[in-house]
């Protein structure tokens, strides 16, 4: 019964979060993506051998391409997620500079299925909403939470969002995995002690 109430609450919050995000103009979203990239590189330590997983943006999500392109230009390892099956964890595929991308589930793009697989050290996480405790409101499919829960090592989870997507407090289920940090156009906020 409590789980149903939490899911109903999350469903209503998703509607609000989508409306907040959709209210931003394309120009505002473009400027915000550039600011998010600047704050990310200024505030998130990335060891040389770390693999950073991004995502191919959908609809009005914060575009993390500025981050991924800079990482690729610097010769860093970048991965993108692919949906391989319903109710399964995401598969992280290494994206080589200039390698083509293909449909990877839910309208996203990722490297081909034959691309090398990896376990990322840092994951740039798309979201609909976040709160002051690092709770992430996702789309409800559970792909990211399943992937984080089943990972062989704990990646740093960095949400990318617009400031308008912040809520005071979001409900958190037992299976919801909190973010380590979130980056918006206004700056970086950390929720743990990991830079």
Q: Is 2's pLDDT higher than 70?
A: no
pLDDT per residue over 125-158, tens digit each?
A: 999 999 999 999 998 788 888 888 877 678 999 9
Structural domains in the chain, sorted by start: 2-190 (3.40.50.10420)
CB 129 within 8 A of CB 167: yes
pLDDT band at 195 (very low <50, low <70, confident <90, very high): very low
Q: 3-class SS at 184?
A: strand
Cβ-based neighbours of 8, under 8 Å, separated by 6 or more: none
Q: Is 36's pLDDT higher than 90?
A: yes
CA 53 – CA 91 distance, rounded (Å): 11
Name the one residue in this structure whose structure tokens are 């700056």. 187
Whether pTM exceeds 0.85:
yes
CA 34 – CA 30 distance, rounded (Å): 7
Q: Token digits for 122?
A: 């840092």
Q: Up-side HSE of residue 111: CA atoms within 13 Å toward CB?
A: 19
């Amino acid at each position: 019964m409590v789980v149903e109430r939490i899911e109903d609450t999350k469903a209503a919050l998703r509607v609000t979060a989508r409306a907040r995000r959709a209210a931003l103009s394309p120009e505002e979203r473009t400027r915000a993506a550039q600011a998010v990239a600047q704050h990310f590189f200024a505030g998130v330590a990335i060891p040389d051998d770390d693999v950073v997983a991004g995502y191919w943006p959908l609809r009005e999500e914060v575009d993390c391409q500025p981050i991924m392109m800079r990482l690729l230009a610097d010769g860093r390892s970048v991965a993108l997620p692919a949906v391989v099956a319903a109710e399964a964890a995401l598969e992280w595929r290494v994206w080589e500079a200039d390698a083509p991308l293909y449909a990877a589930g839910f309208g996203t793009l990722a490297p081909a299925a034959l691309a090398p697989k990896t376990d990322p050290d840092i994951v740039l996480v798309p979201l609909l909403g976040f709160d002051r405790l690092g709770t992430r409101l996702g789309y409800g499919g559970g792909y990211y939470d399943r992937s984080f829960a089943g990972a062989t090592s704990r990646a740093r989870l960095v949400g990318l969002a617009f400031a308008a997507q912040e809520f005071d407090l979001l409900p958190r289920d037992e299976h919801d995995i909190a973010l380590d940090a979130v980056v918006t156009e206004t700056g970086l906020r950390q929720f743990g002690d990991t830079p």
